[in-house]
Amino acid sequence: MTNISRREALAAGVGFATITMLPLSWAHADKALVDKAIADFTGGASVSEGNVSLDMPEIAENGNTVPLNVSVDSPMADDNYVESVMILASGNPTPGVATFHFTPLSGEAAATTRMRLASTQDVIAVAKTSKGEFFQAGTTVKVTIGGCGG
Amino acid sequence: MAKSKPRVKAPKKASAGDVVTIKTLISHKMETGLRKDKEGKIIPRKIINKFECSFNGASVFSCDILPAVSANPYLEFTMKAVESGEYNFKWTDDDGSIYEKKSKLTVA
Amino acid sequence: MMKIFGKVAAIVAGSALVATAAFAEDRKSYPAPKDHPLSEIISGYEFRTPETRALQDDDFENPAYILLDLGAELWSTADGAAGKSCASCHGDAAESMKGIGASFPKWSKERNKAITVEQQINICREEQMQADTWKWTKDPNMLGMTIFVKNQSRGMPIVLDNSPEMETVRKLGEEVYYTRYGQLDMSCANCHEDYYGNYIRADMLSQGQINGFPTYRLKWNGVGSTHRRFKGCMKNIRANPFKPQGEEFTALEAYMMYRAVGLPIETPSVRN
């Protein structure tokens, strides 16, 4: 068996860690980008917590396909309905994911899709009503980097 | 796969006032534009960027899609059944291709 | 020093147990026959998260059905110089292909070797249809047709061809299964027999059962074959993989059917 000194082993370990860390630091959307996306969506109006429920797994088995379900409490009547819901991922290279547009004919302000998450991060849903109100909800999803699945 | 194939599961019958669930899926790689090929060149972005569902010409649901949506984009949403008629489902690709599917609904 | 180490180890072991238990509670298992290397036979489905299982539970939400639809279409589409389709000889797949996915690989007397469903498809294309053969692992046509054929056996338990020839093939497969390969010097058994139900880093190890293949794999963003998965495992242990549909992987597939005996076919499954 070859003898590797403790120092060599440590150095190798550090080197490896640096290599694997780099893409992660690149892959982070700026908080400013998230704030800007929300400001563009709301036109600067204030956003309240609540009314929106964002359902995602606490731990995603693979970041390629993470289920997302969003629903907003709303009568979905002609004079009061949810117009759109924007989904943002704070830790992806860019925060935008998708924007759902509803009409009173939708019946419910609810949609399900599957999204990509580059790493463990917060996902945010911002809803806009026909009355010009804004609501938001967020959730943290842990993304596992697997032994063989990663 | 060269050509994208849409799949839709939408009820054919409903009672007036029912809120029905519609599921759609289309085969597509959803190339993000962030990946590099073996030579280190960026693989250009190519995604489905928009989905629209209308019923008898009226908008039911639509979605602006970005590269963070998974390959083979899946969308599930609802519609309030008011009258009989035809659903129209439409996906728009970055390359300009449009994929469409239609199906009928009878409201009793 | 040892004391501290012992404590740390105990905590680590403790948390590992907790983490395992969360998934282990309702893992459905099938009894293993006498002298089988496993005490219980468990599908890979049982090791996946509720979200991944949900994708498989609904035939519409399972993206592999795009390829199943393609396979169904190809089944009755004539191709090649003979102007035949699969249906020209085999008729209704729901009848003629029932059980195939639960019993292949099987022994071919004419070829004097074991053949997989994929190999049989290309044999038919070449000899009966006089059509071009399909590529083994990534061709959507091959994947679609393999899924379509195996799907006709969905829910049927895996049964073995007990001919002495197949016994010999499975012996070779067993040897491949237990041989340590690559720079990491690991065998299939080191993960999938010794440590299934435990985490390898953040991944939950399964028994490596093949009853759901070809599968829609989240990591692949698409559908892949049994032999592509074998290849991936060998790369993970830094070994030179055998050739898809070559003698070793065909034997390994045959032996994996023995390890999965009694397990229902799930093709097309969804895995991580």
Alpha carbon of C247: minimum distance to chain A alpha carbons (Å): 25
Catalytic annotation present for C89 = no
Instruction: Determine the Cα angle at C50 with ends C46 and C55, to 5°.
Output: 95
C149 to C79, C95, C146, C214: CA distances (angstroms): 17, 11, 5, 11
The predicted structure's pLDDT at residue C176:
98
Domain boundary residue, one of C94, C118, C151: C151
The predicted structure's pLDDT at residue A23:
40
Are B71 and C222 a contacting pair at CB < 8 A?
yes
Give per-residue pLDDT as tens, C212-261: 999 999 999 899 999 999 999 999 999 999 999 999 999 999 999 999 99
From CA C140, how far away is CA A115, in angstroms rounded? 23
Domain boundary residue, one of C121, C151, C181: C151
Residues C128 and C194 in one domain: no
Which residues are paired to C115 by β-bridges?
Answer: C106
The winner for highest mean pLDDT among B35-39, C20-24, C219-223, C266-270 is C266-270
Are A150 and C233 a contacting pair at CB < 8 A?
no
The predicted structure's pLDDT at residue B4:
86
The predicted structure's pLDDT at residue A98:
98
Judge contact between C83 and A92, C-beta under 8 A.
no
Which of B65, B77, B92 is the best residue to mutate to test the A interface, defined by the most A CB atoms within 10 Å of its own CB?
Answer: B77
The owner of tokens 């379509």 is C148
Is any Cβ of chain B less than 8 angstroms from the Cβ of C61? yes
Average pLDDT over residues A46-66: 94
Asked if residue B99 belongs to a domain, the reply is yes
Residues C184 and C258 in one domain: yes
B27 vs C contacts (CB less than 8 Å): 63, 66
Q: How confident is the model at residue C25 (pLDDT cuts 50, 70, 90)?
A: low
Tokens found for residue C58: 């609904």
How many domains would you assign to chain C? 2
Tokens found for residue A149: 């699945």
Give per-residue pLDDT as tens, A59-117: 998 999 999 999 999 999 999 999 999 999 999 999 999 999 999 999 999 999 999 99
Residue C1 has pLDDT above 80, yes or no: no
- Find, among A28, C82, C66, A11, the residue nearest to B5 by Cα: C66
3-class state of residue A100 by DSSP: strand
Note down the domain range covering B72.
Answer: 5-35+45-107
Helix, strand and coil content of chain B, in percent to the nearest 5, comes to 0, 55, 45
Q: Report the neighbours of B using a cutoff of 3 or more CB pairs below 8 angstroms.
A: A, C
From CA C192, how far away is CA C189, in angstroms rounded? 5
pTM for the structure as a whole: 0.86
Percent share of chain C, pLDDT over 90: 86
The DSSP line for chain C is -HHHHHHHHHHHHHHHHHHHHHHHTT---EEPPTT-S-SEE--GGGGS-HHHHHHHHSTTT-TTHHHHHHHHHHHTS-BTTTTB-HHHHH--HHHHTTTHHHH-SEEETTTTEEE-HHHHHHHIIIIIS--PPPPSSS-HHHHHHHHHHHHTTBTPBP-----HHHHHHHHHHHHHHHS-BTTTTB-HHHHHTTSTTSEEBTEEP-----TT-SEEETTTTEEE-HHHHHHHHHHHTT--PPPTTSHHHHHHHHHHHHHTTTPBB--SEEE-
- Find, among B25, B74, B67, B72, the residue nearest to B47 by Cα: B67
Residues C7 and C74 in one domain: no
Q: What are the helix and strand counts (H, E) for chain B? A: 0, 8
- Find, among A33, A71, A36, the residue nearest to A51 by Cα: A71
Give per-residue pLDDT as tens, C183-200: 999 999 999 999 999 988
User: What domains sit in chain A, N to C, each tagged with a CATH number?
Assistant: 26-143 (2.60.40.2470)
Residue A149 has pLDDT above 60, yes or no: no
Q: Provide the b/e sequence for B14-38 (b: ≥16 CB within 10 Å).
A: beeebebebbbbbbbebebeeeeee
Average pLDDT over residues B11-16: 96
The predicted structure's pLDDT at residue B10:
97
B 32-71 residues with CB below 8 A of C?
70-71
Alpha carbon of C67: minimum distance to chain B alpha carbons (Å): 9
Average pLDDT over residues C6-29: 52
Instruction: Name, in order, each residue with C-beta under 8 angstroms of C118's C-beta and a sequence gap of 6 or more.
Output: C136, C142, C146, C225, C227, C245
Residues C139 and C54 in one domain: no
Residues C37 and C165 in one domain: yes
The predicted structure's pLDDT at residue A144:
80
Is any Cβ of chain B less than 8 angstroms from the Cβ of C70? yes
From CA A37, how far away is CA B34, in angstroms rounded? 20
Residues C55 and C162 in one domain: yes
The predicted structure's pLDDT at residue C9:
44
Residue A51 Rama label (left phi>0; alpha psi -120 to 50; beta): left
Q: Which sign, positive or negative, has the C-alpha torsion C126, C114, C162, C227?
A: negative
The predicted structure's pLDDT at residue C26:
82
Asked if residue B91 belongs to a domain, the reply is yes
Average pLDDT over residues A132-150: 82
Alpha carbon A51 to chain centroid, angstroms: 18
Residues C52 and C164 in one domain: yes
Average pLDDT over residues C96-123: 97
Domain boundary residue, one of C102, C118, C151: C151
Residues C15 and C112 in one domain: no
Are C63 and B27 a contacting pair at CB < 8 A?
yes
How many domains would you assign to chain B? 1
Give per-residue pLDDT as tens, C127-171: 999 999 999 998 999 999 999 999 999 999 999 989 999 999 999
Residues C245 and C168 in one domain: yes
Is any Cβ of chain B less than 8 angstroms from the Cβ of C39? no
Alpha carbon of C235: minimum distance to chain A alpha carbons (Å): 10
Q: Which of B1, B7, B72 lies closest to C140 in CB terms?
A: B1
3-class state of residue A37 by DSSP: helix
**Is the ipTM of this structure higher than 0.90?**
yes
Half-sphere exposure of C214 (CA within 13 A, CB side): 31
Numbered residues of chain A with Cβ closer than 8 Å to any chain C Cβ: 57, 59-62, 64-67, 144-150
Asked if residue B82 belongs to a domain, the reply is yes
Which of A16, A20, A62 is the best residue to mutate to test the C interface, defined by the most C CB atoms within 10 Å of its own CB?
Answer: A62
Which of A101, A121, A122, A128 is the best residue to mutate to test the B interface, defined by the most B CB atoms within 10 Å of its own CB?
Answer: A101
Mean pLDDT over the full length of chain C: 91
Residue A17 has pLDDT above 90, yes or no: no
The predicted structure's pLDDT at residue A29:
63
Asked if residue B40 belongs to a domain, the reply is no
Which residues are paired to A71 by β-bridges?
Answer: A53, A110
A61 vs C contacts (CB less than 8 Å): 48-49, 51-52, 218, 272
Tokens found for residue C56: 């498989």
The predicted structure's pLDDT at residue C201:
82
Tokens found for residue C243: 């050739």
Mean pLDDT over the full length of chain A: 84
Q: Which of C48, C54, C202 lies closest to A146 in CB terms?
A: C202
Residues C55 and C92 in one domain: no
From CA A144, how far away is CA A150, in angstroms rounded? 8
Phi/psi at C78 (nearest 5 deg)? -65, 140
Note down the domain range covering C213.
Answer: 2-59+158-271
User: Cis (ω within 30 of 0) for the bond into C157?
Assistant: no
In chain C, the residue whose alpha carbon lies closest to the alpha carbon of A112 is: C61
Phi/psi at A54 (nearest 5 deg)? -115, 115
Residues C249 and C132 in one domain: no
Are C200 and A146 a contacting pair at CB < 8 A?
yes
Q: How many Cβ atoms are within 10 Å of B58's Cβ, its own excluded?
A: 11
Are A111 and B69 a contacting pair at CB < 8 A?
no
- CATH number of the domain bearing residue C247: 1.10.760.10
Asked if residue B103 belongs to a domain, the reply is yes
- CATH number of the domain bearing residue B10: 2.60.40.10
Percent share of chain A, pLDDT over 70: 77
The predicted structure's pLDDT at residue C203:
85
Residues C163 and C147 in one domain: no
